């Protein structure tokens, strides 16, 4: 959905004035006022520090414009409406701690998790938003409880498709240690099956499977690899290298994808709030709630990936801070295996100084290990600004959500956040 201020019920760009259709405030306003109006630096619900309603509104508007636009029309519209709803923003600012607990995706997922109105496809239009809003206010204690107990760390197992080209070419066997592992599904790259397609178009334009391309199911894969009995297949399009400015011959992309699975002999992870979707149905339900409305394919991949690892031994997952726990957990990796520390879309939640501290720690841990090891990061380039892109080659400005896949601090590819494309650098 294209955001258009001239159409009622659509959002404006952040910082612009209110658009028609977003000012409706159905439901009892006194519920909002009784919830408490915390302000930045002042105690709100339970004595915690809260942000201002204006900050919350701006955050939802930014989320609508920069993250949901083009990915989920339902979330784009809903978050834009919330950003124009002053009283609801006062409720959020006054009863939730400032910071991560005020993330838009956390509220939207919590309401879906509790089977709020329009949970499957999201509320569309003013009347549907009114029902969603009234229900959320009426059940606010339950919604807030979910928000305070849960986090937005998704676990997208399809990211293994973009990790596999690196994992398969490292010295085998591997000891995998994932930072920010969530449910640990990406610790099982050898349990899934993969289909790598030729995503090349003329002059490096996106091909099948890439946003703006064609249906990937209609394009024969270049390479299929993985467990033959896996209940899930991850499709990934290999696109033209960034430096390519001419059409790429058919079949050339096969050199960038693996022809075998890695041999994994040890798996471990670190997370502040680890999940176990195999043993805990509530954890699986929460992960499914984080999938955006209308993305049935991603929800199906998640469930199938859980089924793929249901019968195998659980990885060792440590609850705690990534910097505090990394040295001891890395030291437990078996001798003779190549230790691989990896993470995807994790470091954006850390202040810059902590990111630098983490980078130094990873290098120190690997340098101090007998036989060394490797560091694979898959983050937005702005999160790791010290990563040098190859000269004159930068991510395409029309696809700002792409991640930079790096091996030992050296960028090697641009990847889709959900593992659906791999573009060599």
pLDDT of amino acid 158: 95
Alpha carbon dihedral 410, 413, 417, 422, in 10-degree steps, equals: -160
Please write down the long-range contacts of 355-358, taking CB distance under 8 Å and 24 or more positions apart. Answer: 355/383, 355/384, 356/386, 357/323, 358/179, 358/322, 358/323, 358/326
Residue 44 bridge partners (DSSP): none
Q: What is the H or E stretch that residue 17 is in? A: none
Q: Give the other-Cβ count within 10 Å of 175's Cβ.
A: 22
Three-class secondary structure of residue 187 per DSSP: helix
CA distances for 257 relative to 24, 65, 110, 199, 229, angstroms: 52, 34, 38, 12, 21
Please give the Cα distance from 310 to 308 (Å, whole number): 6
Helix (H/G/I), strand (E/B), else coil: 375: strand
CA 128 remoteness from chain centre: 27
- CA-nearest of 228, 230, 189 to 315 is 189
Coil, strand or helix: which one is 365? Answer: helix
Stated pTM of the model = 0.78
CA distance 273 to 282: 14
CA distance 307 to 287: 14
Which H, E and C letters describe 240-291, residue by residue?
CCCCCCCCCCCCHHHHHCCCCCCCEEEEEEEECCCCCCCCCHHHHHHHHHHC
**Cα 172 from Cα 190, distance rounded (Å):** 13
Domain ranges for the chain, please list them: 29-149, 157-424
End-to-end Cα separation, the chain, in angstroms: 31
| pLDDT digit string, tens, across residues 321-353 | 999 999 999 999 999 999 999 999 999 878 899
Q: What is the pLDDT of residue 23?
A: 30
Of the candidates 142, 128, 144, the residue with the CA atom closest to the CA atom of residue 26:
128
Among candidates 404, 316, 344, 372, which has minimal Cα distance to 179?
344
C-beta atoms surrounding 17 within 10 Å: 7
> By the 8 A CB rule, do 262 and 174 touch?
yes
Task: Name the stretches of the chain with pLDDT < 50.
Answer: 1-50, 201-218, 244-254, 392, 395-398
Task: Please state, in angstroms and rounded to a whole number, the distance separating the CA atoms of residues 206 and 238.
Answer: 10
Phi/psi of residue 80, each to 5°? -65, -40
Euclidean distance between CA atoms 46 and 370, whole angstroms: 49
Q: What is the pLDDT of residue 47?
A: 43
Measured CA to CA, the distance from residue 213 to residue 218 in angstroms comes to 11
Phi, psi of 261 (to 5 degrees): -90, 155
104, two tokens: 């838009």
Helix (H, G, I), strand (E, B) or coil at 343: strand
Quick: pLDDT tens for 350-397.
889 999 999 999 999 999 999 889 999 999 888 887 776 555 455 443
Give pLDDT, residue 19. 31
Query: How many C-beta atoms surround the C-beta of residue 128 within 10 A?
Result: 18
On whether the CB atoms of residues 239 and 213 are closer than 8 A, the answer is no
Question: Can you tell me the distance from the alpha carbon of 45 to that of 105, in angstroms, rounded to the nearest whole number?
Answer: 20
Element (H, E) at 79: helix 73-83
pLDDT recorded at residue 252: 41
């Amino acid at each position: 959905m294209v955001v258009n201020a001239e159409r009622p019920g659509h959002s404006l760009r952040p910082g612009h004035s209110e658009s028609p259709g977003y000012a409706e405030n159905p439901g009892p306003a006194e519920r909002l006022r009784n919830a408490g109006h915390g302000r930045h630096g002042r105690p709100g619900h339970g004595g915690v520090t809260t942000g201002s309603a204006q900050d919350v509104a701006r955050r939802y508007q930014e989320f609508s414009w920069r993250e949901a636009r083009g990915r989920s029309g339902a979330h784009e519209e809903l978050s834009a409406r919330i950003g124009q709803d002053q009283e609801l923003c006062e409720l959020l600012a006054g009863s939730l701690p400032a910071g991560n607990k005020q993330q838009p995706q956390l509220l939207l997922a919590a309401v879906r998790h509790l089977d709020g109105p329009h949970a499957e496809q999201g509320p569309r239009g003013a009347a549907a938003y009114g029902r969603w809003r009234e229900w959320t206010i009426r059940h606010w204690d339950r919604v807030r409880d979910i928000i305070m107990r849960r986090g937005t760390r998704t676990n997208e197992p399809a990211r293994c498709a973009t990790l596999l080209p690196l994992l398969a070419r490292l010295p085998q066997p591997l000891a995998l240690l994932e930072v920010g592992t969530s449910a640990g599904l990406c610790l099982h790259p050898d349990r899934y099956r993969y289909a790598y397609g030729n995503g090349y178009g003329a002059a490096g334009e996106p091909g099948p499977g890439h946003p703006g391309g064609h249906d990937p199911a209609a394009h024969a894969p270049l390479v299929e690899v993985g467990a033959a009995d896996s209940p899930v297949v991850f499709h990934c399009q290999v696109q033209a290298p960034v430096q390519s400015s001419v059409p790429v011959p058919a079949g050339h992309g096969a050199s960038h994808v693996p022809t075998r699975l890695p041999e994994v002999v040890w798996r471990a992870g670190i997370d502040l709030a680890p999940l176990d979707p195999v043993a805990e149905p509530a954890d699986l339900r929460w992960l499914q709630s984080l999938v955006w409305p209308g993305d049935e394919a991603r929800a199906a991949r998640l469930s199938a990936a859980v089924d793929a690892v249901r019968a195998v031994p659980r990885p060792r997952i440590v609850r705690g801070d990534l910097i505090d726990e990394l040295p001891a957990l890395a030291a437990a990796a078996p001798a003779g295996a190549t230790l691989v520390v990896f993470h995807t879309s994790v470091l954006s939640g850390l202040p810059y100084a902590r990111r630098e501290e983490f980078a130094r720690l990873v290098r120190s841990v690997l340098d101090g290990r007998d036989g060394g090891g490797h560091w694979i990061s898959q983050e937005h380039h702005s999160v790791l600004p010290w990563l040098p892109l190859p000269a004159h080659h930068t991510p395409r400005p029309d696809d700002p959500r792409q991640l930079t896949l790096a091996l030992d601090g050296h960028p090697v590819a641009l990847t889709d956040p959900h593992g659906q494309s791999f573009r060599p650098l």
